[in-house]
Amino acid sequence: MIGRIGLSFLVLWLSLSFSTQAQPRPTQIDFLSGDQIHTDLDSLRAWILAAHPSPFVHCSEIEFEDAWEKSRKTFEGGGTLFSEAQMVARICNTLKDSHTGLSLRSFSMQLGEVYGHIPIEVTTVQNQMMIEFADANSPLNGTEVVAVNGVPARSILGSALPLISQEGDAQVARLRMAEKLWNDIAPFVVGARLGDTVIIELADGTVEKLPVFSNEEVAWWNESKDRSESIEWFLPEKPNEPAVLKIHDFHPSNASDFKRQLRRAFKAMYNWSKEDEDLDLILDLRGNSGGHIAVMAELLPYISNEPIRIPYGAQIRTSNTAKDQLAFRQRRLGMRSQRYSTNLKKMNNALRGATSDTLLFVPFDIPIKPHRKFVYDGKMALLFDGLSASASVSIASWFIRSGRGATFGEPTMGSVSGTFGNPVRYTLPESGLVVNIASARYFTQNPVRWEASPLLPDFPVNLTLSQFQFNHDPVMEEAIDWLQTQP
């Protein structure tokens, strides 16, 4: 089952390498003139062409220009903030780059200042909209939502989909992202506003009334259900069970603590293996939308007994905005991986030293070396889903190409060849909408290739309604069964 993460933690819009800046203060603009929308869309087009390293690897320049022109014409007489957001997404989505698009967190905050949020989180199971979380003890958990204020729940999801970027052809991942935006756009779609109560219609014919939350209230609600740690690990409780390492993200609040937890996990597995040589490991990256490559690099020495170059290198587009923002984010990170310090320093020096509007390729020459003592070389299974992206896709790409083990779940937000990254943040001058534009792409293999198809699991697993309602985890169960049958 997909983890219960709030929109505030959908860091697909971060990057493969850097964490975000603080969000700008949202505006309360709700209607813009045609001239204002044109100014914003013209600015967006210019920024993409100036900042993006390879805007036309998944689309043609003709398709991009056509999307821009049609978006300008759609609301020549003006439109709402939501209308402009759809046009911004329409232009960005032609690139099929998940790191280039509308900043969903910022947009939900802007929209939320007027319309608010509904405090339920949904997921699609067997083509039905199921409530994954409302409250820890809510009777709504695990039920099917049919409509909100008479508007079909699937129609609300359909309104969210056009706002979501995707990496290449990763359509399943786009759906999973849209589900996380559902409760943030629902009030607008159904005609509710702050202070209202909405009617939730359930499949069994009953109805529930829920208040529309403010930005502050939904932030508290998200915090009440989100986990606090980036990493969790569990040793077997019964004979023949595997160890499980769950990494929620690669952008921990405390990178040093992340490193310590990782070391403790593999030290514990090492000590266990001295008593039981058949200890298996499940690496769970479901819901992990990425983070910093230096944090990602801390994991690989523990699961590979050979040096690895992941990523193989990065293609970077320089601009003054990129230099300023990325340098700021590096200072905030406060961490340098021992194994990646030379590579990152080389990349940063290249970025600082290049003139604006230069396209560079920076190879990551220094490989990640196996841990001297606690490297794990036993049987492994990898779990991922549509919310697994960016740095998680890089690990999955290596895992699959190296034959390290079998994979389970659903297609990721990214391909075996790599993903874009290092997004630069821009604020559109009239609406205040925030957009992210990738300034780099990371290659995971040599020779360099660029593919549109997402990573596919060796064993696709689809959640059934009964499994969802009884809180079963068929992905984990199938991985355990597979490990137990391997010699």
Residue-wise burial string across 269-299, b where 16 or more C-beta atoms lie within 10 A, e elsewhere: bbeebeeeeebbbbbbbbbbbbbbbbbbbbb
**Residue 106 pLDDT exceeds 60:** yes
How confident is the model over 236-270, as pLDDT tens digits? 988 889 999 999 999 888 888 999 999 999 999 99
**Residue 123 pLDDT exceeds 50:** yes
Q: Which two tokens stand for residue 332?
A: 């905030």
Q: How far apart are CA 54 and CA 289, in angstroms?
A: 22
pLDDT band at 364 (very low <50, low <70, confident <90, very high): confident
How confident is the model over 134-187, as pLDDT tens digits? 987 889 999 999 999 999 999 999 999 999 988 888 889 999 999 999 999 999
Angstrom distances, CA of residue 139 to CA of 120, 142, 158, 217, 465: 12, 8, 26, 20, 16
Q: How far apart are CA 93 and CA 100, in angstroms?
A: 8
- Alpha helices in 161-242, H assignment, sequence order: 171-190, 215-225
Q: What percent of the chain has pLDDT over 90?
A: 57
Phi first, then psi, for residue 281 (nearest 5°) are -135, 135
Q: How far apart are CA 230 and CA 251, in angstroms?
A: 8
Lowest mean pLDDT among 49-58, 149-158, 334-343: 334-343
Phi first, then psi, for residue 352 (nearest 5°) are -70, -35
Residue extents of the structural domains in the chain: 7-225, 231-485
> Which of 434, 337, 429, 346 is closest to 391 using CA atoms?
337
> Which of 89, 4, 11, 3 is closest to 391 using CA atoms?
11
What's the pLDDT score for residue 227? 61
How confident is the model over 288-305, as pLDDT tens digits? 988 888 888 899 999 999
**Mean pLDDT in residue range 336-357:** 72
Cβ atoms of residues 262 and 231 within 8 Å: yes
Lowest mean pLDDT among 155-159, 220-224, 277-281, 469-473: 220-224
Under CATH, what is the fold of the domain 231-485? 2-enoyl-CoA Hydratase; Chain A, domain 1 (3.90.226)
What's the pLDDT score for residue 327? 56
Lowest mean pLDDT among 17-31, 342-356, 364-378, 390-404: 17-31
Q: Which two tokens stand for residue 292?
A: 């910093």
**At 157, is the secondary structure helix, strand, or coil?**
helix
**Residue 229 pLDDT exceeds 80:** no
Q: How far apart are CA 223 and CA 405, in angstroms?
A: 35
Phi first, then psi, for residue 47 (nearest 5°) are -65, -40
Q: Where are the beta strands (DSSP E) in 35-143?
A: 79-80, 101-102, 121-125, 128-133
What's the pLDDT score for residue 326? 62
The model carries a pTM of: 0.87
How buried is 351 (Cβ within 10 angstroms: 0-12 exposed, 13-18 middle, 19+ buried)? buried
How confident is the model over 457-474, as pLDDT tens digits? 999 999 999 999 998 999
